[in-house]
Every structure is written in structure tokens, then in C-alpha cells.
Chains A and B, each alone.
Chain A
Amino acid sequence: AIQMTQSPSSLSASVGDRVTVTCRASQGIRNDLGWYQQKPGKAPKLLIYAASSLQSGVPLRFSGSGSGTNFTLTISSLQPEDFATYYCLQDYNYPWTFGQGTKVEIK
């Protein structure tokens, strides 16, 4: 199974900060990667699909990049509603695998 290594596991940031989360795949997965946001008690929400395509309705401050084994989720200017846990998911081949998550907390 493809391993997805996500970093950091947590970070503290302030409103307005630029935030970057990375995911590394144990083998090449082309651009078959999505990024999800999950808030406490809620189902995950898709932010980015195909590594860099913004899901409809998602604010433009979210962006994704990368291909092959290295991927990045960037929040250009952190907003209060962005404090949450973020996960990557590879759908290149089965079994699909999530990264272990990055919790973004308020500094």
C-alpha cells in the first residue's frame, strides 16, 4: 500500500499567516491526490482535487500543488474559520490512503 506522510502533524498560526502543509507519497501517484478539511464533529470537506484543482465553492486562498511524490496545500492568508485538521488522500491506486492529518491551531 502507498504510504502518505503528512507534515507537520500540527502547527500554530495567526490569522493572516501563510500556512503550508505537505504530503509525501511512498511512490509516484501522478496528481491523484486530494486535500480535505475536517472540523470537530463534522464530516471532512474536499478542498482540492487532482492535486491542484479547487473544489467548487472553496475560497481562493486555498491552493494545491505538486505531482509524483511531493504535494503541498497552501492557505495564503489564514482565516478564523480555517482552524481545523487537514488530510491528504491518494486515489492513485487501491487501497486508497490518507495522510495522518495536520491540525492547524490558533497561535
Chain B
Amino acid sequence: EVQLVESGGDLVQPGRSLRLSCVASGFTFDTYAMHWVRQAPGKGLEWVSSISWNSGTIRYADSVKGRFTISRDNAKNSLYLQMNSLRSEDMALYYCAALGSDYWGQGTLVSVSS
């Protein structure tokens, strides 16, 4: 059974940092490009970032470029999102996904408020 389990979401103050994690199982993680997609409360979906299977190609949405860093550890079947300089508009449910095969986690909630 394919599973993607995100963690690390929390309530943080503006300007602070947070690191999200996603652990994969049930598929060959190290052959898949992985993505982070977010959804603000009551809003639509926003693609955030992607990383190729070997970390050789990394892309970001303009809204997070320079503040967020995506990474992966294939030995640990894990995907990460380091989020710095958090803003109120970053508040959302963050999904880890292998979009090419439609594998999604359940999401982890990031709240940004003073």
C-alpha cells in the first residue's frame, strides 16, 4: 500500500522557520519526482516545489523562491521542505505528492500568526 505521511506542521510566528517532512512507503521512492502542493484554508490548490528523483532538478513557485528549500534523502525514503521567513500567506495545508502517479499524503497544517 502506498503511503505518504507528512509531519512538521505547527503554529509559528511570522519570520520564523519550519521544516516539513514526508516519509514514503509502498513504492520505489528513489525513482519518483516529488512535489509539495499547498492549500490555504478555504482556498484552491497551489503547486509549491518539486525535486527530481536524484535531486538534480529543483523548481519553486515564485511565491516561495528564495525562502523555501526542497530536499530529499532517498536512503530514508524522505522528502523535506525547509521554510524560512514565513509569512501569513504561507498558512496552509501542505501536501507531499508524487504527482506523476497520483500519490498524495494527508497533509500537514502550517499556521503563521503572531
Contact of A96 with B45 in the complex, beta carbons under 8 Å: no
Is there an interface contact between A95 and B60, defined as CB atoms closer than 8 Å?
Answer: yes
Q: Judging by beta carbons under 8 Å apart, are A98 and B104 in contact? A: no
Q: How large is the interface on A (under 10, 10 to 19, 20 to 34, 35 or more residues)?
A: 20 to 34
CA distance A46 to B102 in the complex (A): 6
- Determine if A100 and B102 form an interchain contact, defined as CB atoms under 8 angstroms apart: no
Contact in complex: A44, B104 (CB < 8 Å): yes
| CB <8 Å contact, B44 and A101 | yes
B61 to chain A: closest residue by CB? A95
Task: Choose from B46, B59, B97 the contact partner of A98 (Cβ within 8 Å).
Answer: B46
Q: Chain A: interface secondary structure?
A: loop
- Judge whether A82 is part of the interface by a CB distance below 8 angstroms: no
CA distance A61 to B9 in the complex (A): 38
A96 to B45, CA, bound (A): 11
Cβ-defined contact, B107 with A43, below 8 A = yes
| A1:B102 contact, CB within 8 angstroms | no
A95 to B50 Cα, complex, angstroms: 9
Task: Determine if A14 is an interface residue (Cβ-Cβ < 8 Å).
Answer: no
Interface positions of A from 44 to 60, Cβ below 8 Å from B: 44-46, 55
A62 within 8 A of B: no
A71: chain B residues within 8 A (beta carbon): none
Of A19-27, A73-81, A86-94, the segment with at least 4 beta carbons within 8 Å of chain B is: A86-94
Beyond A43-B106, A45-B102, whether A87 also contacts B61 by CB under 8 A is no
Q: Which residues of A contact B95 (CB under 8 A)?
A: 43-44
10 contacts between A and B (CB under 8 A): A1-B62, A45-B102, A46-B102, A55-B102, A94-B50, A95-B47, A95-B61, A95-B62, A96-B50, A100-B44
User: Which 9 residue pairs spanning A and B have beta carbons closest together?
Assistant: A43-B104, A46-B102, A94-B59, A96-B47, A101-B44, A98-B45, A95-B61, A100-B44, A87-B45
